[in-house]
Amino acid sequence: MKMVTVMPVTVSVMIPLISKLLPGQFHVIGPREPVIALVGEEAVLSCQLSPSMDAQNMEVRWYRNVPLDLVHRYSTSQDDTEEQMLEYQGRTEFLKDNITKGHVALRIHQIQLSDGGEYACYFESSTYYNEAKFQVLVTGESLQ
């Protein structure tokens, strides 16, 4: 008896479809290189949507290791710092000048050594969500 292994044709057809975005889906693009920040100064963490789209009505979050480690949240067209980590209260500023193009940034004032590490920039629409992760490296001492 001869055994023959047959590979389903649908696998080879479906693989290219997986990489394409459906309507309403997007990628989040964050910094490719680590963001370098100096103690006592400020750092700007930029993110953008691809394809470019209006993010005014989306929820945008920056968080540390897990989503509950909230650095800053923008929701329903306003800043929401209710669940923000204590160490970031009064030190973050959401920059939304280009939000209609899907470009946003978070400015963190008075950088501390503890601000170093992994961050995620997360976007959520009514039908889809995605995020980008990147590193912040903190160096030096305050120049003040």
Tokens of 80: 């929401």
Q: What is the DSSP letter of 64?
A: S
Mean pLDDT along residues 16-24? 64
- 80 Cα distance to chain centroid: 16
* Phi, psi values for residue 17, rounded to 5°: -70, -30
- Amino acid at residue number 92: T
Q: What is the DSSP letter of 16?
A: H
Tokens of 135: 């590193």
Interval 73-84: pLDDT, tens = 999 899 999 999
Interval 57-70: pLDDT, tens = 999 999 998 888 99
| pLDDT of 99 over the 50 cut | yes
115: pLDDT confidence band, cut at 50, 70 and 90? very high
Domains in the chain, ordered, with CATH? 24-139 (2.60.40.10)
| pLDDT of 144 over the 80 cut | no
Question: What predicted TM-score, i.e. pTM, was given to this entire model?
Answer: 0.81
Tokens of 7: 């590979």
Closest CA to 95 of 34, 48, 41: 48
